[in-house]
Chain A
Amino acid sequence: MKTIAIIDYGMGNLHSVSKAVEHVAPNTRALVTSDPEQIRGADKVILPGVGAIRDCMAEIRRLKVDELVREVSVDRPLLGICVGMQALMSRSEENGWVDCINLFPAEVRFFGNNLKEGPTRLKVPHMGWNEVHQVKDHPVWHDIPDAERFYFVHSYYADADNNPDMAGRTHYGVDLAAAVARDNIFAVQFHPEKSHRAGLQLLKNFSQWSGA
Chain B
Amino acid sequence: MTSSHGSRDGLASRARPPEGEGGDGGDGGEFAERDEVPELRAMRSVWLAMRDEDPPERGLAELLAAARAKAVAP
Chains A and B bind each other: no
* Chain A residues with a Cβ under 8 A of chain B: none
